[in-house]
Amino acid sequence: MNANVTKLRPSGTAQTNGQVLYYEVHGQGPSLVLVMGIGYDSSLWTLAQVPSLSTQFRVVLVDNRDAGRSSKASHPYSIADMADDLAGLLDALGIQRTHLLGLSMGGMIAVEFALRHAGRLDRLVLAGTGAAPARNAVDPIQIWSWVKANDATGKVFGGQQLASLFSTAFLRNHEAVQDTTALLASNPNPMSPEAYGRQADAYLHFDALSRLGAITAPTLVVVGEQDLITPPWIAREVADAIPGARFEVIRGDGSSHVVPIERPDDFNRLVSEFLTE
């Protein structure tokens, strides 16, 4: 178990792997790094995960390269590069070992971290995570990347995101949709089409399925029953390939790709119980 109790600044930046990464630290306890998916920054974790998990863990948020307040890349990169970004951030913060929780593409980054930096990982949580989008002839991220680059108003891209990431129950709640749309539109650090395209290329070239058997960290794979982007069978494929991994499906209303946001109580309980076993 992570026993690192070094006091860290509540927020700042760290130079790592040719990038400048923005980070925040919340709470005290064993370290838990949260890694967000494609196109978004770490602020989404503050909606429901930080208030809950920071009561037990030292929660470290990070904006991936090309997202939020981190630096913008000047050339193409891979998911492995982003995993090495995390390792460099841990070095800069003096964190030797950590738990790691990744959502969607953040889970892919976490998988690569588990493979490339196994000695620095305590426990691994993968939410809505696939391991082999490169094997798909067609992937939604291809379409989103094209729309992002060609949708001047952003309305079509935003509509696609809401319809694909959230549940039907959410989409029928007009007030929730309006509030969420306003929240996303108010982000002071929106992602450019070029940055999104670079993240999309890294996502679409990712294939770790045949390497998952080398992961040694205790692993929890969580997926929403109604996840359209990473349906349960894909998450099950990941769990089955990781030795000893636990597989959990959150069912019913709100069990979407963004289940940490729509079903935070159930999601946070699974994460907390797994990490404190």
Structural domains in the chain plus CATH codes = 11-275 (3.40.50.1820)
Question: What is the pairing mode between strands 19-26 and 11-16?
Answer: antiparallel
Greater confidence, 3 or 18? 18
> DSSP 3-state assignment of 212?
helix
pLDDT of residue 6: 55
pTM given for the model:
0.96
> Collapsing DSSP states into helix, strand and coil, what is residue 35?
strand
| pLDDT number for residue 9 | 87
pLDDT in tens, 34-76: 999 999 999 999 999 999 999 999 999 999 999 999 999 999 9
**Contact (Cβ atoms closer than 8 angstroms) between residue 25 and residue 59:** yes
Q: How many residues does the chain have?
A: 277
**CB of 105 within 8 A of CB of 126?**
no
Number of H helices, E strands in the chain: 11, 8
Tokens of 188: 């002071």
- pLDDT tens sequence across 176-216: 999 999 999 899 999 999 999 999 999 999 999 999 999 99
- Residue whose token pair is 């798909």: 136
How large is the angle between the packed helices 193-204 and 79-93, nearest 10 degrees? 110
Q: What is the pLDDT of residue 7?
A: 67
224: β partners:
250
- State the DSSP H helix or E strand holding residue 221, giving kind and residue range, or none if neither: strand 219-224
Mean of the per-residue pLDDT values for the chain?
96
Helix intervals (H) in the chain: 49-53, 79-93, 105-116, 140-150, 155-165, 168-171, 174-185, 193-204, 232-241, 259-262, 264-275
> Percent of the chain having pLDDT more than 90?
96
